Amino acid sequence: MDTEWSIQELAKAAGTTSRTLRHYGEIGLLPPVRIGSNGYRYYGQESLVRLQRILLLRELGLGLPAIAQVLDGQRDAAAALRTHLELLKQEQGRIARQIASVRTTLRKTEAGEPLMADEVFDGFDHTQYKDEVIEKWGKDAYEKSDRWWRSQSKAEQQAFMQTHRDIAADYGRAHAAGLPVDGDEVQAIVQRHFDWIGASPTGGPVTAQYFTGLGEMYVADPRFGQNYDKHGEGTAEYVRDAMKAYADARL
C-alpha cells in the first residue's frame, strides 16, 4: 500500500493547519485520496507535491482561484516545479536585498550616518498582491488604494500599519481573556478595526458583505490569519466572529 498521511500529519509536515487543508479540499484545490470510515481524510504522494505547489504559489502572492487555474493548466509536475524553482530564486534575490537593506539601515543608524531612500527600501514592494486585489475587488479599487498609499508619507504609512498591529494585539488579549465577541469591549475593538479599514479607499463603502468577507478571508488565508493567530491560536476565527457580530448589529 502506498504511503498515506492523515490530515493532521500533512498539516504538521507542511507547517499549516488542518483547517486550511480542509478548506483547500472543500474548494477542490487539494482533495484527499480517500476518506476513511471514521471520516478522517488521507493524502498520498501526489498530494504532497500538489500542496507544495499550492504553498509556493501562495507565498508568491497568488489567490486561490488563480492557483487553481495554474494547477489545472500545468499537468507536468516536473515542469511546474522547475517554474516554481525559478520563481523562488527570484524571491530569494529579493529577500537577500531586503536583508542587505536592513543591515545597511542598522549600521548607518548606529553610526549616525545619513540614510538613502533607495538603500532603505530596496527589495520592498507593497504592490506584490496587485493581481490578487484586482481579481477580488477590481482594478479601480486597486488603483484608488495604490494612489492613496503612495500619497501618504512614510510616517503616515508606518502609523497606519501600527494601528492595525495594535488592533490585532487587542483582539488577541480579548480572545485570551474569553470575552464574548458581541460584548461591548470586543465590539469597541471591532469599531476601531472598521474605522481603520474605512480610512483607506476600498472602491466604495465598507458594507456588511465586504466586512464579513474580510473576516472570512482572515480564516481562509494563512497570510492574513497569521497576523491574528500570532497573538494566540484561534484568534483569526475570533476576529471573524466579532466582525460578523458587528456587521449583523450595525451594518
* Number of domains the chain contains: 3
At residue 121, the pLDDT reads 45
Please provide the average confidence, as pLDDT, over all residues in the chain: 79
Residue with cell 487587542: 170
74 phi/psi in degrees, rounded to 5: -120, 90
Give the strands of the sheet with 34-35, arranged side by side: 5-6, 41-43, 34-35
Same-domain check for residues 138 and 87: no
Last residue in a domain, options 45, 73, 101: 73
Q: Where are the alpha helices (DSSP H) in 199-234?
A: 208-220, 222-229
- pLDDT tens-place string over residues 21-56: 999 999 999 999 999 888 889 998 888 888 888 887
Among 11-25, 109-123, 133-147, 220-234, the minimum mean pLDDT is found in 109-123
> Cβ contacts of residue 220 below 8 Å, gap of 6+?
20, 23, 64
Q: Is 5 helix (H, G, I), strand (E, B) or coil?
A: strand
At residue 183, the pLDDT reads 94
Q: What is the pTM of this model?
A: 0.48
Grid coordinates representing 123?
527589495
Among 4-13, 140-149, 218-227, the minimum mean pLDDT is found in 140-149
Strands 5-6 and 34-35, how do they pair? unpaired
Same-domain check for residues 62 and 92: no
- pLDDT tens-place string over residues 89-141: 777 776 776 677 677 667 767 777 665 544 444 444 555 455 555 555 556 66
Q: Is 182 helix (H, G, I), strand (E, B) or coil?
A: coil
Last residue in a domain, options 55, 73, 91: 73
Contact 154, 126 (CB under 8 A): no
CATH code at 19? 1.10.1660.10
Contact 175, 204 (CB under 8 A): no
91, exposed or middle or buried, with CB in 10 Å at 0-12, 13-18, 19+?
A: middle
Same-domain check for residues 201 and 240: yes
At residue 188, the pLDDT reads 95
Contact 235, 243 (CB under 8 A): no
At residue 120, the pLDDT reads 45
Same-domain check for residues 146 and 249: yes
Find the domain containing 192 and state its range. Answer: 129-251
Same-domain check for residues 251 and 134: yes
Same-domain check for residues 216 and 141: yes
Mean pLDDT of 232-249: 93
Same-domain check for residues 147 and 52: no
